[in-house]
Structure 1
Amino acid sequence: MSYNIFISLGMVVNWVLDQDELASKFNSKTKAIIINTPNNPIGKVFTRSELQVIADLCIKHDVLCFSDEVYEWLIYRGHEHVKIATLPGMWDRTITIGSAGKTFSVTGWKLGWSIGPEHLVKHLQTVMQNTLYACATPLQEAVARGLLHDFELMEQPDCYFSSLAVELQGKRDRLACILQQAGMSPVVPEGGYFMIVDVTALNQDLSHMEEDKPYDYKFVEWMIKEKKLAAIPVTAFCGDESRKQFEKYIRLCFIKQDSTLDAAATILKNWSKA
């Protein structure tokens, strides 16, 4: 007998949550849902109303919610990050995941946290104790001091929580403009520091490459070799059912030094001329 234990809510159709489709996935065997906002790789920030739909389903079916919110501070103008745990009835059934690596741009430290009610967190402590065992104490101390420091600077221009998003918005908009000029169709993210790009219009013939790879894998491999520009194939994030829909998308990262973006701009401009 099969059991529907987890619903993973990562990719969305037309960048808007399909409420009817999501509701159809819940049944008496559903135990938990995983959500990711701001989303990677799309960059979508779920609206309060979309999160309320998810919350209502969790409450109706007595389901736990694991909310991946590691990009919570990287929100661009016109959008708001809402923690689903703050919605009525959700605190007691939600684990919220945060990341020091994403919050302070120290990804290599591999530190994060889980926030939730004691009756759920105690089980995560058991998992932690028997898998990772411990994290480096000096790094934990550094993250704690960083959180305290920037908490005191909240609402001020030099608070890192907000200043990074301000800095990255310019880089985001610049990359989107360059990609459009090169004939690609970027999906401008509402949060995070990745941008997915539709490369369909380039009509790049890759028939000479291995047949068993999705188009985006072949495109990225070809682009690295021929254009010296790296990206990630978006189908790496997809399940079997949705992979075909995203074969013409690649993911680029724009949390880069200006000199790196300059080099990418030169490559893309020369590409469009060719």
Structure 2
Amino acid sequence: PMALMAGGNAVYVPLRPKKGSAVLSSGDWVLSAEELTSKITPRTKAIVINTPNNPLGKVYQLEELQMIADLCVKHDLLCFSDEVYEWLTYDGAKHVKIASLPGMWERTVTIGSAGKTFSATGWKVGWAISSGNIIKHMKVVHQNSVYHCATAAQEAVACGFETEFELFGTPESYFHQLPAMLHHKRQKLASCLQSVGLQPIMPEGGYFMITDISSVKCDLNDESTKYEPYDFRFVKWLTKEKGLATIPVSAFFSPEHSKEFDKYIRFCFVKENATLDAAENILKKWNQRE
């Protein structure tokens, strides 16, 4: 919608699972350099990326980011990099800021979020980091788009960063403690899904996990949802009939690509252990009845 309001047109290139191999990790989903290159025209203005990715949890590797950076430099494009999950990576996956690559600082807008950084999603406080020239123009748009700011929440976020600056790199740092805690919750959810015959796609980052539901047998003959994508119908059924809420993955893809991905649903594991235990009980009871 924002691109359309600015007179632009969004062109989509999805991440897809590698062909010819088992897809067990979000790292097994890749961006086709050939497909991305083919979409660039003289009218192209920018490339938008999201790493760590939602819903997959993919953390773009350096060579993948370099491919995107090379295209941005070659075609003089801006890059909008959504990095709100930058502190949540697992198993040695390293988050690299594309703005740190040669020739990218002056053409990249890096987006951050207090909600994801400090687990305060309701505050809706975020930021953009870029060169002075880009920020100058963003300020003009911002001051005519926002009536007032959540000043108290902004002050709290600033205090959070001041504290983390002193603790950064130590075991007491929240940026160290949060991924360590979520690592165990991620393992717990993955084990739960595997125990009922589902294959989780293990995320390298973020706090979501997707799984393939194409092997699941259930009655989705609900007249009110029969024209909706399969994953939308499935998650509504799962919520109504089993009391377990998930998200349809096809909602994260463009209309022309959504059909490719309507066999996946997304779970969230940034939950209390009691909630994860309850989800596990629901899935196991359902599996036993099947």
Aligned counterparts of 2:15 and 2:176: Cα–Cα separation in 1: 27
Aligned twin of 1:32: 46
Per the TM alignment, residue 8 of structure 1 is displaced from its structure 2 partner at its CA by: 4.9
Per the TM alignment, residue 211 of structure 1 is displaced from its structure 2 partner at its CA by: 2.0
Aligned counterparts of 2:184 and 2:282: Cα–Cα separation in 1: 19
Map of 1:6-25 to 2, 5 A cutoff? 6-8=10-12, 11-14=14-17, 15-25=29-39
Per-residue CA deviations over 1:57-105 (Å, capped at 9, x if unaligned) read: 0000000000000000001122000000000000000000000110000
Equivalent residue for 2:217, pick from 203, 207, 227: 203
| Structure 1 residue runs of 4 or more that deviate by more than 3 Å after TM superposition | 3-9
Confirm whether residue 242 of structure 1 aligns to residue 261 of structure 2: no
Aligned twin of 1:220: 235
CA RMSD of aligned residues (A): 1.6
Aligned counterparts of 1:269 and 1:155: Cα–Cα separation in 2: 40
Aligned counterparts of 1:123 and 1:220: Cα–Cα separation in 2: 42
TM-score, normalization: structure 1? 0.95
Aligned counterparts of 2:218 and 2:232: Cα–Cα separation in 1: 13
Deviates more, 1:128-137 or 1:169-178: 128-137
Aligned counterparts of 1:98 and 1:162: Cα–Cα separation in 2: 18
Confirm whether residue 77 of structure 1 aligns to residue 91 of structure 2: yes
Aligned twin of 2:153: 139
Per the TM alignment, residue 7 of structure 1 is displaced from its structure 2 partner at its CA by: 4.5
Map of 1:1-274 to 2, 5 A cutoff? 6-8=10-12, 11-14=14-17, 15-209=29-223, 210-274=225-289
Per the TM alignment, residue 232 of structure 1 is displaced from its structure 2 partner at its CA by: 0.8
Q: Aligned residues: percent identity?
A: 56
Q: Contact 2:52/2:206 (CA < 8 Å) preserved in 1? A: yes
The residue identity in structure 2 corresponding to 1:112 is: G
Q: Contact 1:181/1:272 (CA < 8 Å) preserved in 2? A: no
Q: Contact 1:198/1:248 (CA < 8 Å) preserved in 2? A: yes
Q: Contact 1:8/1:34 (CA < 8 Å) preserved in 2? A: no
Per the TM alignment, residue 17 of structure 1 is displaced from its structure 2 partner at its CA by: 1.7
Per the TM alignment, residue 6 of structure 1 is displaced from its structure 2 partner at its CA by: 4.6
Per the TM alignment, residue 205 of structure 1 is displaced from its structure 2 partner at its CA by: 3.4
Q: Contact 1:33/1:64 (CA < 8 Å) preserved in 2? A: yes
Aligned twin of 2:21: none
Aligned counterparts of 2:154 and 2:237: Cα–Cα separation in 1: 41
